[in-house]
Chain A
């Protein structure tokens, strides 16, 4: 579809979906640029998903491959599930960015570069033998738009007398302006953002606004670009939307759980990528009476959380894999003391320090089994950035209603990725019933169940008269909580702790299948692979393949109908960003022939990778 824009000789084409990747030096402001494009795109009404990707170093050497930071967004007029696999457009602010990302670009894709940065030194630093813009070979399969952004921005700012550094720093706004023109987006959100962000420095506001406008004007006038594009509003369920990142949604879910259920939220964390945002965000919610505590280490974070839980707060800690490893002894204490708390693991690449800014799902075994002794625990996983809200609320609900610790698994991809979120009706969230005891009614036994069904003991918090009692990590008598070395009692308590997790299955929704209730192949997933699996399954189904999706939020215990559902499918594959952790649990638990589709590179799955496997298994049509 093509038409001519009023007052312009250019064509306007309507597209269903577009994937853009912004890439540049860590200091080039690519994350900011990406977020701005995202905000504007959300307000235009497209569906979208984003994938920020940045190095662990704050500022790796300028111009080096290690220092490249990128931000990918897919936006569409229909519902989409992932940030896209092969970008249609690559914005490369320097040769290193081009080097790192070129191979991901789809053939015939568009490359927009800041030609000013393709100098000898930068080319050398990033390992180009020749200048790819000029060698007539490297980029022949692509549409190249090379713009000397630095010069054009310099001209736009020439009367301001600004140092070259400021001019160079404004080139990202030029690129953003150009893309706004190309994809017919309004600039007012970004202009407002610039005016607020740099309020105290009017010359920076002016420079950025002019650079943005210069980029937009360049698109309008240059003959290098003959077409601009429109991506129409996506048809989505009615309601109010905002764009949300996973860590933000998690924080809000925790606040909602406390706020709607008369509990004080206590949150303790120790700074760790990619979980620190949760601490940052909650620290700003003091007017919700959220108590945040930046502990001296991961162990202090979880043990202060245990203390707060003991004292009656809705107590939460968040970390990433290495931090979770440090917390494991304390998680055992929470299990033994039967205290309600939520420990969030925003997973990252491992082992050891691993790849702090890259995503992975490799801590499932750690969550399930990473403690001494028989120490079962409830495990949940969020599926999308917006789903982090629901999963956080659900984790709090289970912890409080069952007097049990819960591990919530998120990951780097969910934590810093974003999507439009249909804002929930907070009145429709399930009320959370707590088991606080205020009256002994005669004898009080701290480890008696106050709720038999939930196997929850009473939450007798310090300060409550006549309920003084002692708890601890030593094995305890099943009623009094006093230290017990009795063999039969220990067996009983081991069974009890297993049973406490098992009964949670009665208090969670059944698993559901997307697609057909029985088909040739089931794609089983958990956590952040949800979007890629959904896109792959839908695409394969469109092509006539008999394939369905089952995605798990509850990993321990599993929904009670899971075994029955799995048996309906002759073939099961489990895409996981690990070497097959859920796969092994499923095989052990249900004796089904589930097979892993593993990817552990630090990147999320592309839908195409899953779709290829589906087709491979079911045979080409």
Chain B
């Protein structure tokens, strides 16, 4: 959301101002609790008026989110949060619109709409909560589940190939693509703020642990000590380092990424590729690391570019038409073309 009058002249809001009176009904220990907490912690910092914020969701565990935020909220139907949000944002571009969706809601039944929201680039923030499973329907494999996964609907193992969310977003001409993790509170807060500040569609994938149906799906990323080996924390302008004491890095061998051990392989930090979030080729490479064995998983802003937003272009065109043709006159409209008079 861009700077507007909603950001000034208001009493400072606190975390509790964003907490609704509804009892939260997620399973104890669900990663969604942490995500909700980080959102409620971050929002006072953003300084946006509460009544100007709308949370819109589809169907799924994470889609209960709007009920727990003391802002405007709309819990819609499966897969369509993105399109409802599009209508809201077009009708009132001043609103800060947030979509909360999941790997089933956003990437299966609602994948079509997600493509089109991303390519149109409305200034809407998408939180794609990815737990690689269908939780609310009690444990079927999802479009991001790993091959061979045994679930209720795949007792012999899934033969589906998983979808790669950041690559999907890049392929859809997304202008802000980032990833974070439910348990990395500070990192998630930083990503939420960055998504908010990005003018255009922000696609923030949040890995989330479903301890009932897919526990430990991201355990390598969430627990010490191995998380250091598996998290590639991206910083714009910084070399892509990871591991204990940043002892490893990503080096480009031609167009191919390789992991180098700075202590053993004879390479220095200068050989490590520097992250440039405006570089689409680099973003494509980083997206591909998602499922590549022996590589760390990128977290942070993978890609960002600045483009006009859809709602700006739409409203600009309307104002230009008013300027050019004059404000529409209903009487004149009815009488346009050939008319005749009967006495």
Interface residues of A (CB under 8 A from B): 39, 42-43, 45, 189, 233, 236-243, 252, 255-256, 259-260, 264, 266, 268, 285-291, 293, 295-297, 299-300, 303-313, 315, 329-330, 332-333, 337, 423-424, 426, 461-474, 482-483
Q: Are A291 and B91 in contact (CB under 8 A)?
A: yes
Closest 6 CB pairs of A and B: A307-B87, A472-B75, A288-B328, A304-B87, A286-B321, A311-B91
Q: Are A473 and B75 in contact (CB under 8 A)?
A: yes
Q: Which of B51-59, B224-232, B294-302 contacts A (4 or more CB under 8 A)?
A: B51-59
**Residues A423 and B84 in contact in the complex (CB < 8 Å), given A333-B76, A462-B51:** no
Interface CB pairs A-B, < 8 A, 26: A238-B342, A240-B340, A241-B339, A242-B338, A268-B87, A286-B321, A286-B322, A287-B327, A291-B318, A303-B77, A303-B83, A304-B87, A306-B76, A307-B86, A309-B87, A310-B74, A311-B92, A423-B334, A463-B52, A463-B72, A463-B94, A463-B95, A465-B49, A469-B73, A470-B67, A470-B75
Report the minimum CB–CB distance from A260 to chain B (whole Å): 7
A295 nearest in chain B by CB position: B83
Q: Are A470 and B66 in contact (CB under 8 A)?
A: yes
Whether B187 sits at the interface, judged by CB under 8 Å, is no
Q: Count of B residues near A, CB < 8 Å?
A: 59
Q: Are B51 and A468 in contact (CB under 8 A)?
A: yes
Interface centre among A305, A310, A337 (most CB of B within 10 A): A310
- State the CA gap A310–B80 with chains docked (Å): 14
Whether B50 sits at the interface, judged by CB under 8 Å, is yes
Q: Give chain B interface residues in 97-126, CB to chain A under 8 Å.
A: 112-113, 115-116
A242 nearest in chain B by CB position: B339
Please give, as numbers and ranges, the residues of chain A lying within 8 Å of B56 by CB-CB distance: 307
Q: Are B340 and A259 in contact (CB under 8 A)?
A: no
Report the minimum CB–CB distance from B13 to chain A (whole Å): 12
Interface 0/1 of B297-328, CB less than 8 Å to A: 00000000000000000100110011011111
Q: Are B80 and A470 in contact (CB under 8 A)?
A: no
Please give, as numbers and ranges, the residues of chain A lying within 8 Å of B69 by CB-CB distance: 470
**Residues A289 and B318 in contact in the complex (CB < 8 Å), given A462-B52, A470-B74:** yes
Please give, as numbers and ranges, the residues of chain B lying within 8 Å of A309 by CB-CB distance: 87
Q: Give chain B interface residues in 9-29, CB to chain A under 8 Å.
A: 20, 22
Whether B266 sits at the interface, judged by CB under 8 Å, is no
Q: Are B88 and A308 in contact (CB under 8 A)?
A: yes
- State the CA gap A501–B91 with chains docked (Å): 27
Report the minimum CB–CB distance from B261 to chain A (whole Å): 47
Q: Are B328 and A255 in contact (CB under 8 A)?
A: yes
Q: Are A464 and B51 in contact (CB under 8 A)?
A: yes
- State the CA gap A600–B224 with chains docked (Å): 71
Interface centre among A237, A337, A483 (most CB of B within 10 A): A483
Interface centre among B54, B56, B91, B94 (most CB of A within 10 A): B91
Contacts A43-B340, A241-B341 known; 14 new A-B pairs at CB < 8 A? A237-B342, A242-B334, A268-B87, A285-B328, A287-B324, A293-B86, A300-B86, A300-B112, A306-B76, A307-B88, A310-B87, A333-B77, A470-B66, A470-B73
Interface centre among B75, B83, B341 (most CB of A within 10 A): B83
B327 nearest in chain A by CB position: A287
Please give, as numbers and ranges, the residues of chain A lying within 8 Å of B343 by CB-CB distance: 238
Please give, as numbers and ranges, the residues of chain B lying within 8 Å of A255 by CB-CB distance: 328, 330, 333
- State the CA gap A237–B341 with chains docked (Å): 10
Whether B222 sits at the interface, judged by CB under 8 Å, is no
Whether B183 sits at the interface, judged by CB under 8 Å, is no
Report the minimum CB–CB distance from A245 to chain B (whole Å): 11
**Residues A307 and B322 in contact in the complex (CB < 8 Å), given A286-B317, A287-B327:** no
